[in-house]
């Protein structure tokens, strides 16, 4: 993904932690909510659940452990947890700023 593209995610504020699932297309997510014949793999991007360690939707993302999923959802079955996050979470989208960093650090500092 380029740094200027929009990122779509579903943020779930849980009792023990905050969880995030990335989605490909908000239109597919909306359609999935009324038509469960659509596969979860068509809705989510990467099929992975992330935690932010109670730092909100902009916190550092780590992969959710089985223990954190069990504590929050009563199961660590990824399918069941993703469904709960998509159903009860808040859809968010944002665009990251384009990165313009020094790509050749061997030349010394970029600003003199």
pTM across the whole model: 0.78
Say what the pLDDT of residue 55 is.
79
Asked, for residue 2, whether it belongs to a domain, the answer is no
Residue 103 resides in a domain: no
- The pLDDT, as a whole number, for residue 1 is 45
Burial of 81 (0-12, 13-18, 19+ CB in 10 A): buried
Across the beta sheet with 50-51, the strand order is 62-63, 50-51, 18-23, 6-13, 90-95
- The predicted-structure confidence for 52-92, as pLDDT tens digits, reads as follows 988 777 778 999 999 999 999 999 999 999 999 999 999 99
In the chain, the percentage of residues whose pLDDT exceeds 70 is: 79
Could you count the other beta carbons within 10 Å of the beta carbon of residue 88?
11
Number of domains in the chain: 1
What does the pLDDT look like over 92-109, one tens digit per residue? 987 655 555 555 656 666
Task: Tell which wins on pLDDT, 15 or 105.
Answer: 15
Residue 15 lies in domain? 8-93
Q: Tell me whether residue 62 is in a domain.
A: yes
pLDDT of 60 reads 86
Q: Is residue 48 part of a domain?
A: yes
In a domain, 3, yes or no: no
Q: How far apart are CA 53 and CA 49, in angstroms?
A: 13
> Could you tell me if residue 105 is inside a domain?
no
Residue 13 domain-assigned (yes or no): yes
Specify the CATH number for the domain of residue 44.
Answer: 3.30.1250.10
- Let me know if residue 87 belongs to a domain: yes
Contact 11, 90 (CB under 8 A): yes
Q: Phi and psi at residue 58, in whole multiples of 5°?
A: -105, 10
Place of tokens 């009324």: 34
pLDDT, greater one: 77 or 111: 77
How big is the CA angle at 13 (ends 10 and 19), to the nearest 5 degrees?
A: 55
């Amino acid at each position: 993904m380029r740094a200027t593209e929009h990122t779509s995610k579903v943020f779930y504020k849980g009792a023990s932690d905050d969880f995030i699932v990335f989605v490909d297309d908000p239109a597919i997510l909306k359609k999935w909510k009324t038509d469960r014949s659509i596969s979860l793999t068509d809705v989510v991007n990467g099929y992975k659940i992330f935690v932010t360690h109670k730092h909100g939707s902009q916190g550092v993302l780590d992969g959710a452990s089985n223990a954190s999923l069990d504590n929050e959802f009563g199961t660590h079955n990824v399918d069941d947890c993703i469904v709960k996050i998509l159903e009860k979470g808040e859809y968010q989208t944002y665009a990251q700023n384009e990165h313009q960093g020094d790509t050749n650090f061997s030349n010394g500092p970029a600003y003199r």
